[in-house]
Amino acid sequence: MPDGREAEIRATHERYVAMRDRIEAGELGWDALAGFFSENAVFIDPAWGRIDGLPEIRKFLSESMSGLDGWCFPNQWHQISGDRLVTHWMNRLPGRRADGSCYEAPGISIFTYAGGGKFSRELDILNMVHVNELIAESGWRPKGPYHALPRNPRRS
């Protein structure tokens, strides 16, 4: 039986995933996820680097996901330990191969829970070479505005 804190983290994650489902369905912009982060949160993305603070996270969410219509990120599993939440998900591009399989690459997110339905940190880990190979294989192209990766993302 999970303790109160674990139940709170689990419920926050469930709301986060439900919000992400609405975003993937086109009901909301990706910046809607910013509501799950504390004012001084840190987000570390393998392509965009380190993003500090809620205003910058909100901007990052909008810019980094712009043009990725049809991409989705289905959860595979999650684990909670203390204030840490680890999730395994798939980075799934639109379309399917001739054999019916998805163009997808695994990813892991490590969240630190700050309390009150907010995370103070998210670290995303995925193989960007694999994602780029899938983009080439699938022939995917962005729809609408698309923001190029930053030239010198912060890695510290």
Phi/psi-derived region of residue 96, left when phi > 0, alpha when psi is between -120 and 50, beta in every other case: beta
The answer to the question of residue 46 being in a domain is: yes
pLDDT digits (tens, 9 = 90+) for 55-107: 999 999 999 999 898 999 999 999 999 999 999 999 999 999 999 999 999 99
Q: How many domains does the chain have?
A: 1
The answer to the question of residue 110 being in a domain is: yes
The answer to the question of residue 156 being in a domain is: no
pLDDT surpassing 80 at residue 20: yes
**Rounded CA gap, 65 and 145, in Å?**
10
**Domain span at 16:** 4-138
The answer to the question of residue 107 being in a domain is: yes
Q: State the pLDDT at residue 23.
A: 96
pLDDT over 90, % of the chain: 87
Give 5's pLDDT tier (boundaries 50, 70, 90).
very high
pLDDT surpassing 60 at residue 1: no
Tokens of residue 136, six digits: 């080439």
Of the candidates 32, 106, 107, the one whose C-alpha atom is nearest the C-alpha of residue 65 is 32
The answer to the question of residue 130 being in a domain is: yes
pLDDT digits (tens, 9 = 90+) for 38-53: 999 999 999 999 999 9
Report how far apart, in Å, the C-alpha atoms of 14 and of each of 2, 28, 65, 75, 124 are. Answer: 15, 17, 21, 11, 18
The answer to the question of residue 144 being in a domain is: no
Average pLDDT of the chain, as a whole number: 94
The answer to the question of residue 60 being in a domain is: yes
Q: State the pLDDT at residue 2.
A: 61
Q: What radius of gyration do the chain's Cα atoms show?
A: 16
The answer to the question of residue 150 being in a domain is: no
Give pTM, 2 decimals.
0.92
CATH number of the domain residue 30 falls in = 3.10.450.50
